[in-house]
Structure 1
């Protein structure tokens, strides 16, 4: 996302800026997942624990694998799960099978996958990338239907990883108000767009101005529903 210097540079060159809202998690020095949950209201804390318990009671356990630990057999399985998520919605996946092998080769430490295992079978996989500051999630796949598996694989496991590695934030991807009740807060972001046609540019610029106000209002409205005690009136990130 564009920081202040990048936004200023884009504006000087005639680009249009667009405001958007995602949901990010911030690490406030938590020492464990339980320490993190202690900041929730009682109702939300109970719900999060119930989600995690349901997955565990179904016999699903999680393994953490980094790119350098993924052989071609596992990469094939991860890709198949990833592809199935898109195909079930009538789309082809953005990432190719070759991408996974290449990412594991050139970024062996930065690629991290949470494997959900039932018995000896990998039933789901959540794909992440990470650096010393943050964890980034976006893609996952599953071919088994276990209650709360998506929330555990994509959110709870990622948050726990951040706490263990002392990462400052977790960006799980676009959209998804269901993330809010699981600890993610609205975060305002910027993108820049260059429109060549002057008439289209004027119309789009007008829309973006009006949209920005609506996005900020939406973010503040969502903030009122975060699960943390005493943070429902806090400023948006």
Structure 2
């Protein structure tokens, strides 16, 4: 198929394209009436970020959505942003920026294909079925051309799929590996079935933590769909602000985001609340995908032992088992998740660097980093909580 037939367009807002058109590339699997693989690249999620002011002017995330049309048909799209900083990405390139600017270059602005503030693996090169190869090629070429034409230092696609990483590498992009901790559902019938797969010591520790958490003096509920009420977001906003202030200095999402998400995405969310005397003292917000539960935000107004583990990790496992989900992604970093049944997995990103000399230096760094990540995953997996072949571990 002739690449010259494809027309690339840059959109400053998702309001310039219909939800049906965008989602025909972002989540074509929903044609069967089911959920998207993940909700984060859907029109409704990205537009909620825009309309709430979480991205856009003054945020350092300026939408530049890239679209590709063939004979008037949208065949591919990418959530592309012009970035003036490296915050809210979770694939850290601060050292790259410092090195480049120390050598006299200008690292910012840069271009980022990503879901803002969301370290969850998913498709970043959104392609209509039947146009996979030509669609991704058009997006990669279009994004690189946009970066070169605007003389920005670099282009990055973060938390892409493994298949996209391999395809991008074949197109000349640099690949980067990083690590997260995910819980994998080995067809467990219930939480006790999961515990049975663990070593005796880890099994006892989790039971102890769950008992401690539930001893805070109230009850824990998981709410979805219409059970989530608008007033719940007033409370959750307090949790989110507290966590955001401690982790990032200021929250990435605005208060309005949660109101918009309630109107357009309430069926995509599972809200876990610890309540006492009619008031929530802690909460965790998850997003529901077709195969995966994505743990996103947590916060509290009172500290209680192990309540964080219960709301964020164990209740997520309960939900995944009950709903037949294959995995739980519990966010970025956190080796403490290993003891709670979350194993290390490799995550992927793609990068284009405009300066040849700097690109060569980054490439060598990424090769060494990738080997180190692989070795760490192997070591951590070996230290995981699951039963070994030693009979004593099975008692």
CA separation of 1:171/1:89 partners in 2, compared to 1, >3 Å: closer, same or farther?
A: closer
- Give structure 2 stretches of 5+ with no counterpart: 1-120, 122-159, 391-395
Residues 39-96 of structure 1 show CA distances to partners (whole Å, capped at 9, x for unaligned) of 1111111100001101222223211122543333211111111111122356111121
Q: Where do 1:187-202 residues align within 5 Å? A: 187-202=345-360
SS in 2 for 1:139: strand
- Give structure 1 stretches of 5+ with no counterpart: 233-237
Aligned residue number for residue 186 of structure 2: 28
Q: Where do 1:142-157 residues align within 5 Å? A: 142-157=300-315
Q: Does 1:158 align with 2:316?
A: yes
SS in 2 for 1:109: helix
Q: Does 1:76 align with 2:230?
A: no
CA separation of 1:144/1:26 partners in 2, compared to 1, >3 Å: closer, same or farther?
A: same
Q: Where do 1:59-138 residues align within 5 Å? A: 59-89=217-247, 91-138=249-296
Residues 17-38 of structure 1 show CA distances to partners (whole Å, capped at 9, x for unaligned) of 1011111110011111111111
Residues 122-146 of structure 1 show CA distances to partners (whole Å, capped at 9, x for unaligned) of 0011010012211001210001010
Provide the aligned C-alpha RMSD in A.
1.7
- Alpha-carbon contact 1:20-1:212 (below 8 Å) kept: yes
Residues 101-158 of structure 1 show CA distances to partners (whole Å, capped at 9, x for unaligned) of 1112111211111011122110011010012211001210001010001100100010
Q: Does 1:212 align with 2:359?
A: no
SS in 2 for 1:115: strand
CA separation of 1:5/1:156 partners in 2, compared to 1, >3 Å: closer, same or farther?
A: closer
SS in 2 for 1:85: helix
Q: Where do 1:47-58 residues align within 5 Å? A: 47-58=205-216
State which drifts further: 89-98 or 203-212: 89-98
- Alpha-carbon contact 2:219-2:276 (below 8 Å) kept: yes
Partners of 1:206 and 1:177 in 2: how far apart? 27
- Alpha-carbon contact 2:162-2:347 (below 8 Å) kept: no
State which drifts further: 175-184 or 119-128: 119-128
SS in 2 for 1:230: coil
Q: In the comparison of the two structures, how many residue pairs are matched? A: 232
- Alpha-carbon contact 1:21-1:187 (below 8 Å) kept: yes
State which drifts further: 62-71 or 221-230: 62-71
Partners of 1:231 and 1:178 in 2: how far apart? 24
Higher relative contact order (CA 8 A, sep 6+): 1
CA separation of 1:45/1:110 partners in 2, compared to 1, >3 Å: closer, same or farther?
A: same
Partners of 2:279 and 2:368 in 1: how far apart? 50
Partners of 2:323 and 2:310 in 1: how far apart? 18
Partners of 1:185 and 1:198 in 2: how far apart? 37
SS in 1 for 2:353: coil
